[in-house]
Amino acid sequence: MKLGVNTVDVFSGDHIALNTRPELNELTLVELVKRTHRELGADVVELPANLMVICPRLFTERTIEALADYQKASNVGYTVHLPFRGLDVSSLCRPIAEASVASYKRIIAQLEEALEVEHYVMHLTEMMLKQVEAKPHMDPETKQKIVNVMYEQAKRGIREILQEAPPGKLLLENIKSGWKQPFEIARELGTGICCDIGHLILEGADISKVIHAYQDLIREFHFHDAVEWTLQDGKTILQDHVALGSGVLDVKDTLDNMLSHGFDGVLMIEVGRWEAAAESVRVVREYLGSYPMTT
């Protein structure tokens, strides 16, 4: 198993806002990758390809060359989270769906040429599905029919991407809209799975059952906790992407379930702040120190 950390702090939040940060440049990501690898001891760092489509000045050819140079010098591993801001292979707007497929193909080809990438993680759907789900006037049956059509559209797009993507590297991730469709599509199309534990918490899923059912396809975990907040009106909400051990997740039990099946992929810490990443790495390493396995 390899322990990974995503590019926390600057590059883990809402990437659109980075367009307003003039002090950032095309080497800022590289410096953060170096710090993550050196100071947190991560085997793998996840690269945010969102930047390539919405902040292209921050992820240029020079960025890729510098990432390649550092990889050769340090032997750090890379995974890539493919863009999910604006791109959507499930879109029923044909130009958006076609442009999304073309963008994914181009990004994968560009990065494959320069870097050794372990996995490319992608979302099946993004804003349009959320808009359908949020329509209060639409009856559930009609919503479900539209959602089904959108997932069929997503499958067409993924099949196109798979024609050119390197074998075994494309992973489908469960998003907050659910895990069943993405994981079943992964099984149908023969891709791998990136299982996001925090998203399963928000959905109220039985984590152990999901892991057991798809253990043969899971190549990567996105690992983060979720904190429960009580609002002024008494309603409770969950906020994910927080440090392991700071929220509602039973970290030991979850790690037991994740690793008991012989998982040998990437365990990716995916949190928002540097301090949360450092604490999460500490928690995982402490667990692994008592676990009967070789990492």
Half-sphere exposure of 8 (CA within 13 A, CB side): 26
Tally of structural domains, the chain: 1
Task: Tell me whether residue 240 is in a domain.
Answer: no
Give the per-residue pLDDT at 279: 97
Does residue 25 lie in a domain region? yes
pTM of the model: 0.92
202 in any annotated domain: yes
How many C-beta neighbours within 10 Å does residue 264 have? 11
Q: Under a CB-based contact definition with an 8 Å cutoff, are residues 209 and 157 in contact? A: no
- How many CB atoms neighbour CB 158 within 10 A? 24
Residue 75, domain member (yes or no): yes
In a domain, 208, yes or no: yes
Confidence at residue 292, expressed as pLDDT on a 0 to 100 scale: 60
pLDDT, position 85: 85
Establish if 249 belongs to a structural domain.
no
| Nearest C-alpha neighbor of 165 from the set 220, 234, 110, 93 | 110
For residue 8, the SS3 value is coil
Domain that holds residue 44: 2-221
Residue 16's pLDDT is 86
Q: HEC states along 120-185?
A: EEEECCCHHHHHHHCCCCCCHHHHHHHHHHHHHHHHHHHHHHHHHCCCCCEEEECECCECHHHHHH
Q: What is the pLDDT of residues 222-231, one digit of tens each?
A: 999 988 877 7
Is residue 123 in a domain? Answer: yes
Rounded to whole angstroms, how far apart are CA atoms 176 and 174? 7
User: Quick one: pLDDT at residue 294?
Assistant: 45
pLDDT at 169: 97
Is the Cβ–Cβ distance between 28 and 67 less than 8 Å? no
Distances in whole angstroms, Cα of residue 90 to Cα of each of 10, 20, 132, 146, 147: 29, 29, 12, 11, 9
pLDDT at 295 over 50: no
Q: Stretch 227-250: mean pLDDT, rounded?
A: 84
Q: Output the domain CATH number for residue 135.
A: 3.20.20.150
pLDDT above 70 (res 238):
yes
Rounded Cα gap, residues 1 and 265, in angstroms = 5
157 in a structural domain:
yes
Strand partners, 4: 44, 268
